Structure 1
Amino acid sequence: MNIGKHNKQMTEYRRLARRVLKQSKLYTYFDDSEFSEQTAFWRIKYKEGQPLTEDDLVKSFALLREAIHRVIGFEAAYVQLIGALALEDGCIAEMKTGEGKTLVSLFVLYSEVLKGNKVHLMTANTYLAERDREEIGRILEFMGLTVTLNIAEASIGEKKAIYEGDVIYGTASEFGFDYLRDNMIKNNEDRVQTGLDFVLLDEADSILIDEARTPLIISSTKTEDLSLYQRANRLLSTFNQSDYNFDEIHHTVWLSENGIEKSEYFWQVKDLFSSENQHLIRATMTALRAHILMKKDKNYVVMDGKVVIVDENTGRAIPGRRYNDGIHQALEAKESVEINYESTTLATITIQNYFRMYQKVSGMTGTASTEAEEFHNIYNLDVVVIPTNMRINRKDKAEEIYRTREEQGKAIVQEVYHNLKEGRPSLVGTNSIQDSEWLGELLNIEGIPYNILNAKNHRLEAAIISKAGTVGTVTIATNMAGRGTDIKLDQASLKRGGLCVIGASRFDSRRIDLQLIGRSGRRGDPGYSKFILSLEDELLKQFDSKRWERYKLKKRELTYQPLKGKFIKKLMRNAQEAMEAHNFDVRKQLLQYDEILHVQSQTVYAERRKILDMTTTKAFTEAIMEEILTTIFIKEKTDEAKKVAIFDLFDGIALPLPVDELVDMGKREGVTFMLKWYNENRLRFNAYSINQMEREMFIETIDEQWIDYLYQVEAIKEGIGLRAYGQIDPLVTFQRETNILYNRFIEACNAAYVTKILTLPVPSSPAETTLALDINEVKRVMKELGIEADSEEESIRMLHESYNKK
């Protein structure tokens, strides 16, 4: 973080915030109707999209501040105005939990609408989007704006109405999927998004960092032999640790020599890695990943006979979302539930590249400064830390680290029991469903009542959270109870010291730890936090397994006392930092690979839009046809090769003349003849109909070829990591191979399109033709061909005679 720049920004924000406070007093005399009238005045003044003057910015913030007070009875505080100005400046505002981020968002949403921008506000989940649209959106409506909610279930017509709103609330993924769907439409009338002007990200670190490791993908099912997954699952049931190698740090697994031999014996093949056995190695590896890398009740749960993914960042189940590359099918085989067909990627984009297409991005979160460098390097966003409105009264106690999980569990139970006696509510945070259930069992043994919140009982979330701040309540939760969860304390709990947050493990990132801690001490409430850990923590095992094992084996007896020494705390801190660095590398690598695909997809999407916008496709089709035919005459060196290529182009349909004659014409005359033949055929259709048909054929062709291209790219990605072992940069290899593939994709698109055009059935009799022809188009082309006629009927007859002679 640039401290000098940050201080300069804060000085300016403070100055403007003081002006807003002073100005807002003048609007206390406004009638309610005057608020929307003033909004209308500014919207007309700034309809061209120019920035607001300083005076109008101050006035608009002041007017909105008074509107907030009238509608919900709150007055935006001085520091909240500072946060709003940071958002207006295109920064990420770090505001501690309970400091009113939702209220702050209104100011920049309002000012961006006044500038004539389409405004999107994105939250981490649907619940928050719905809540904010209802609770806060009404303030913007009071100001004369239209506020809508972007939901996945909406039809195309409903989506278009949603995007007509001034301010649109929704999840990041839904906006991203709308973008992808807009680039898959067959008609311009089906496009829903109206521009990527400005986006405000609530919980910006969750969206831009945590979700960045998972690209957005639109897919469809493809048929395949599902029994392979069942057979591979039977193979894995015979495996032991000597059959595979497992890298915990990089979360990868591969077959050992024993595993390869066992697999070849099972599949009854001599070489598992030969080209004809690619389907077998793929089935084996997906089964191996499903069994070794994917943990039930951590990565996924089984609900109602289905494998359901659990979001590792939020702890929430995600019904409907499926793993790609056969992993979901392998998990279904592993869990003995119905196996469904795998998906084929139709369109994809990473979160990083989607947001970098917006003209302006701002964000807010309670935890951003730890990732300030990544925000700046990837998104060109600066982080501004906003001072708190109220003093934080929470006490963050020193962590305790025990040697074993058993000792850790007992210490957590003792801490909860102590709080129960004092009447303080306790929130115990875990990073998996398994851990939450384990702690629940320990509390059961001691007769301590509790509520448990995880992906298995997410329907009870609202009820559990509503009670979590009452006297003596014990709540065990995965990170579902972290970000965005507002635990409100009753008066009795406040008097007894507030909410106690106990962390049962360190998360993959310090940000997630801080999100959990932040559930206590909101808005100046009392409370405390404490992490109670063990050397058997998964994080520690992954990143310092050797030293962890040596230390763990030094003493075998249970002492039920926390370990002492700086070394222990450093061990845990280093493991977390290593995980953060690893996850950053994953996000960075994903972006590097996607940058290559993103440039290509933007070109393809632009080409699709160009075709959909065309009123006539004749010149476009002629250019492609000329290029394809010219390439055949130049590229193919022998007459025989030319004949084969031309036959392929016509896909078995009769040519307009013997192929030998066409080849003998040579490049110039042969291409000219084919273009003339195309134009004559084209005249047999109504001009509108043929243009529409050619548009549809090209869109269909480019989509078919793009799906195939994406499938091949995924195949390259799967094998690209092995190149690193050969001292070859995988990224350079990926770029080279995808460039080759992309050039082939373009050639395949053009060739397939020309084949569809040349093999298009056309009316053959004058009677049929008369009904289909656009006579103006007939006259124009006949003039080009040098054919003269006295009447429309004569024109049609002569055109047919000309065609039949050919």
Structure 2
Amino acid sequence: MIKWILQKIVGSKNQREVRRIRPTVARINEIEEALQREPEEKLREMTSAWQSHLARYHALVAPPKPAVERMSAEELTTTAQNLDARIAPLRSEFSQLPSSVEANAESIEAAKAAFNEVSENFPKARAKYLEQILPEAYAVVKNAARRMCGTTITINDHPILWEMVHFDVQLVGGIALHRGMIAEMQTGEGKTLVATLPVYLNALTGLGVHIVTVNDYLARRDSDWMGALYRFLGLSVGCIQNQMPPWERREEYACDITYGTNAEFGFDYLRDNGMASTKDEQVQRGHYIAIIDEVDSILIDEARTPLIISGPSAHSSQQYDKYKTSVEQLVKRQTQLCNETASEAKQLLDAGDKEGAGRALYKLKLGQPRNRQLMRFMEEPEMRRLLEKAELSFHQDAQKKELFDLKEELYFVIDEKSNDSDLMEMGRNFLSPGDSDAFTLPDLGTLYADIDTNRDLNDAQKAAAKESLQTRMDSQAEKIHNISQLLKAYCVFEKDVQYVVKDDKVVIVDENTGREMPGRRWSDGLHQAVEAKEGVAIEKETQTFATITIQNYFRLYEKLAGMTGTAETEAAEFHDIYRLDVLPIPTNRPNTRVDENDQVFKTRREKFNAVIAKIEEAHAIGQPCLVGTASVESSETLSRMLKRAKIPHSVLNAKFHEQEAEIVSRAGHTGAVTVSTNMAGRGTDIKLASGVAELGGLFVIGTERHESRRIDRQLRGRCARQGDPGRSQFFISFEDDLMRNFAAADRMTAMMERFGMKEGEALEHSWLNKSVETAQKRVEQRNYTWRK
């Protein structure tokens, strides 16, 4: 109670932080108002003066000692003069520096040593000066934005009128970013413009500012868009794109400001430090500061993603094409077995054997979690209860043997939560009949000992025997691994969900952004297994030359900051791992979005029918709809249903990403219906056309809850920007992956029994939303544990 009263009086920690920043904002506005009376050249003069001052803190470039000792008297004089000129601006700041540099080797070397000693203080001195000029620098950026109003800029072949001037809350966000925080700003609050403030300020150092985006499209868009402002102030702007040659990359990194994706920055670092043989072959010039857009996506969702530079392996041991047919037949046998088990479950229930029916249902779930008959059974509360009871019973310690015996009645077992599969004895016998040891690796140490103690063999024969044994064991291990990865490819990885097939290649789809990841491959032969499954060319095995995780790459930077619309739910992780605090920035205008309760259905089919009905309802009055889906497959299913309903619409997914800019630009128009994967959930600013606000603004419909609450919040945030009206609603079913794997199954069954859900009927209540959120928190906690 006391804590609540104190918070009401003094405000939360975040509110107090914003209040501390407010006086600086007032000072910025005061300076900017005065700048409005100055000529345009004044802004560039101020930029140049700050750059000159900060140049004193650059690293010393001087000839090495052996070169100095070989210099002529004339060369010594020139070197001493240059060094003295370099030191002169720093003497008032650092008394350790010599008052002059004489034209001899001893004096030059002493001056170099003194400079290197004081250079350890440069980061602190640089930071102090930047903080000192921050109000003026931010005022310069704001004034430049004001002067640019009315200018047309071409972005990705689309002309856009510049009509942006920084609001006070954007200045607050800019100050937070410079001070090494994560600024959480709602959609439409202008995160892209906010970044111009700390980017400009830190670019004055000449050390290079890296702005990190989630994809090439946003990197190019923002470098063109905000680049116009930086160039207006006399700064250079570069952009790293996929497939760019090294010489061009070097030029882009040499700019004051460089845009690019986390993958491009990371891979360039790996090439520079793992493959470049000389300094001239390197493209990057240091890691001073990175400002990360959609920071939660990069530092959390992709934290443990390894960036790997690999090359073709000299030896290929893959046999996926050899075992593909056998595994395919195995999967068909399992499907047939599971269908028979489903029929058995129904017969047992009809005969009144509930325990036997529950056992059969659990066996079916272990063997084929997405079996259609199992899904239909789960629509009935009684069947759900039987499955839950059986599952609970089998996972008791006393039932371990019974669980093992149940699994042995299947060819293999699938674990959806861990995305894995496990081959059982029946499966092993099917793949290698009559060979009981085919999937067992012998104890190499024991066999080596047997060879060593065999007196009938001389040393050469012993060595040959060991080599032969190792070869056989390697071949056997490779066979087991190949079959295991093929089984996972067939049973766990779905086309148009985890990947798409494009130009006869398997291309991974990022589950968080819905975008293709060309060039990325799953490791440990899994990608080759999926290629075998899809019948495309199986690419050669590769060997790793260099690797680093995203998390470790960004730890290289002296300064780190970021912005996103969704960071507060992960504030503890940002602080624990990166020492970054999250500061929610107030909105410029009150947020008027209406978040309606979730609609919960028994089946996916009923859910999609309800979504179509809701779209028809909104479309009839001309209200634009953005429909978010979890996969390419779901977006195409909805598209087919919309075509049958004769509703014109656009589809934005990994297959149609080329039309992204055009589709997004139309998404806020009257009557527009846009079906999108998570691609439209980040970095897209959907502006309402004239008259749409009166219709209720953009209506965002989510067709499935994501494992992460942040992804759902990102989707919701596409509407109601800058005080516009808008509403959002999620439609979910008990068949959705999140609900099946992580929601409290007993609660869902209780709900179905209590409300007696009928065909097409939906459940809707605020505490249902809480249940879904609890399931999401379970997944987030599990993923956090993996990332630590």
Deviations 1:274-329, CA, capped at 9 Å, x for gaps: 43411111101111111122111000011122111111111111222222211111
Whole-angstrom distance in 1 between the partners of 2:731 and 2:326: 40
One-letter code aligned to 1:56: I
**Are 1:201 and 2:292 counterparts?**
yes
Aligned partner of 2:652 among 447, 453, 458: 453
Decide whether aligned partners of structure 1 residues 53 and 407 sit closer, same or farther in structure 2, where only a CA change above 3 A counts.
closer
**Are 1:257 and 2:425 counterparts?**
yes
The aligned counterpart of 1:16 is 24
Whole-angstrom distance in 1 between the partners of 2:484 and 2:747: 30
Whole-angstrom distance in 2 between the partners of 1:227 and 1:168: 41
The 5 A counterparts of 1:559-570 are 559-563=759-763, 568-570=768-770
One-letter code aligned to 1:129: A
Aligned partner of 1:357 among 545, 548, 556: 556
More helix by share: 1
Decide whether aligned partners of structure 1 residues 545 and 58 sit closer, same or farther in structure 2, where only a CA change above 3 A counts.
closer
Q: CA deviation at 1:565?
A: 6.0
Moved more, 331-340 or 261-270: 261-270
Decide whether aligned partners of structure 1 residues 45 and 500 sit closer, same or farther in structure 2, where only a CA change above 3 A counts.
same
Does the 8 Å contact 1:263/1:272 carry over to 2? no
The aligned counterpart of 1:69 is 146
One-letter code aligned to 1:78: D
Equivalent position SS for 2:527: helix
**Are 1:40 and 2:48 counterparts?**
yes
The aligned counterpart of 2:593 is 394
Decide whether aligned partners of structure 1 residues 58 and 493 sit closer, same or farther in structure 2, where only a CA change above 3 A counts.
same
Aligned length: 587
**Are 1:57 and 2:134 counterparts?**
yes
**Are 1:230 and 2:321 counterparts?**
yes
Decide whether aligned partners of structure 1 residues 267 and 550 sit closer, same or farther in structure 2, where only a CA change above 3 A counts.
farther
The aligned counterpart of 1:245 is 413
One-letter code aligned to 1:384: L
Whole-angstrom distance in 1 between the partners of 2:596 and 2:769: 14
Aligned partner of 1:341 among 540, 552, 556: 540
The 5 A counterparts of 1:199-598 are 199-225=290-316, 228-239=319-330, 240=334, 241=367, 242-265=410-433, 270-274=438-442, 275-276=473-474, 277-544=476-743, 546-547=745-746, 550=749, 554=753, 558-563=758-763, 568-588=768-788
Deviations 1:184-222, CA, capped at 9 Å, x for gaps: 211222122111111100111111112224211111122
Moved more, 488-497 or 324-333: 488-497
The aligned counterpart of 2:462 is none
**RMSD of equivalent CA atoms:** 2.2
5+ residue gaps, structure 1, are: 589-806
Does the 8 Å contact 1:325/1:342 carry over to 2? no
Q: CA deviation at 1:545?
A: 7.5
Decide whether aligned partners of structure 1 residues 565 and 389 sit closer, same or farther in structure 2, where only a CA change above 3 A counts.
closer
One-letter code aligned to 2:269: Y
Whole-angstrom distance in 1 between the partners of 2:561 and 2:515: 26
Whole-angstrom distance in 2 between the partners of 1:337 and 1:160: 36
Decide whether aligned partners of structure 1 residues 186 and 266 sit closer, same or farther in structure 2, where only a CA change above 3 A counts.
farther
Equivalent position SS for 2:287: coil
**Are 1:132 and 2:222 counterparts?**
yes
Equivalent position SS for 2:656: helix
Q: CA deviation at 1:414?
A: 1.3
Whole-angstrom distance in 2 between the partners of 1:81 and 1:94: 13
Q: CA deviation at 1:548?
A: 7.4
Whole-angstrom distance in 2 between the partners of 1:397 and 1:220: 51
**Are 1:26 and 2:39 counterparts?**
no
Question: TM-score if structure 1 supplies the norm length?
Answer: 0.70
Decide whether aligned partners of structure 1 residues 271 and 459 sit closer, same or farther in structure 2, where only a CA change above 3 A counts.
closer
Q: CA deviation at 1:261?
A: 2.8
Deviations 1:29-86, CA, capped at 9 Å, x for gaps: 2222222221111112222151226552111111111011112443211111000000
Whole-angstrom distance in 2 between the partners of 1:361 and 1:461: 30
Whole-angstrom distance in 2 between the partners of 1:557 and 1:96: 37
Q: CA deviation at 1:561?
A: 2.0
Whole-angstrom distance in 1 between the partners of 2:726 and 2:314: 56
Whole-angstrom distance in 1 between the partners of 2:245 and 2:715: 37
Deviations 1:487-525, CA, capped at 9 Å, x for gaps: 222113222111100010001111100110011111221
Whole-angstrom distance in 2 between the partners of 1:507 and 1:544: 12
Q: CA deviation at 1:227?
A: 6.5
Whole-angstrom distance in 2 between the partners of 1:305 and 1:252: 26
Does the 8 Å contact 2:601/2:760 carry over to 1? yes
Equivalent position SS for 2:200: helix
The 5 A counterparts of 1:94-243 are 94-183=184-273, 184-225=275-316, 228-239=319-330, 240=334, 241=367, 242-243=410-411
Decide whether aligned partners of structure 1 residues 196 and 222 sit closer, same or farther in structure 2, where only a CA change above 3 A counts.
same
Does the 8 Å contact 2:130/2:202 carry over to 1? no
Deviations 1:721-745, CA, capped at 9 Å, x for gaps: xxxxxxxxxxxxxxxxxxxxxxxxx
Decide whether aligned partners of structure 1 residues 271 and 393 sit closer, same or farther in structure 2, where only a CA change above 3 A counts.
closer
5+ residue gaps, structure 2, are: 1-6, 58-121, 150-162, 335-366, 368-409, 443-472
Equivalent position SS for 1:349: strand
One-letter code aligned to 2:495: K
Whole-angstrom distance in 2 between the partners of 1:406 and 1:71: 51
The 5 A counterparts of 1:618-767 are none
Decide whether aligned partners of structure 1 residues 272 and 336 sit closer, same or farther in structure 2, where only a CA change above 3 A counts.
farther
Whole-angstrom distance in 2 between the partners of 1:106 and 1:82: 13
Whole-angstrom distance in 2 between the partners of 1:565 and 1:32: 58
Whole-angstrom distance in 2 between the partners of 1:500 and 1:254: 44
Q: CA deviation at 1:551?
A: 5.3
One-letter code aligned to 1:355: F
Whole-angstrom distance in 2 between the partners of 1:266 and 1:351: 47
Whole-angstrom distance in 2 between the partners of 1:218 and 1:266: 42
Decide whether aligned partners of structure 1 residues 567 and 14 sit closer, same or farther in structure 2, where only a CA change above 3 A counts.
closer
One-letter code aligned to 1:519: R
Q: CA deviation at 1:270?
A: 3.9
Q: CA deviation at 1:114?
A: 2.4
Q: CA deviation at 1:537?
A: 1.1
Whole-angstrom distance in 1 between the partners of 2:757 and 2:133: 71
Whole-angstrom distance in 1 between the partners of 2:288 and 2:435: 55
One-letter code aligned to 1:178: D
Does the 8 Å contact 1:121/1:169 carry over to 2? yes
Deviations 1:330-364, CA, capped at 9 Å, x for gaps: 11110111111122111111111111110000101
The aligned counterpart of 2:154 is none
One-letter code aligned to 1:317: E
Does the 8 Å contact 1:226/1:341 carry over to 2? no
Whole-angstrom distance in 1 between the partners of 2:241 and 2:628: 30
Q: CA deviation at 1:560?
A: 2.0
Whole-angstrom distance in 1 between the partners of 2:41 and 2:20: 32
Q: CA deviation at 1:557?
A: 7.2
Whole-angstrom distance in 1 between the partners of 2:770 and 2:281: 56
Equivalent position SS for 1:528: strand
Deviations 1:355-408, CA, capped at 9 Å, x for gaps: 111000010111111110111011100000100012212211111111222221
Whole-angstrom distance in 2 between the partners of 1:565 and 1:523: 29
Moved more, 577-586 or 80-89: 577-586
Decide whether aligned partners of structure 1 residues 489 and 186 sit closer, same or farther in structure 2, where only a CA change above 3 A counts.
same
Q: CA deviation at 1:564?
A: 5.2
Decide whether aligned partners of structure 1 residues 189 and 564 sit closer, same or farther in structure 2, where only a CA change above 3 A counts.
closer
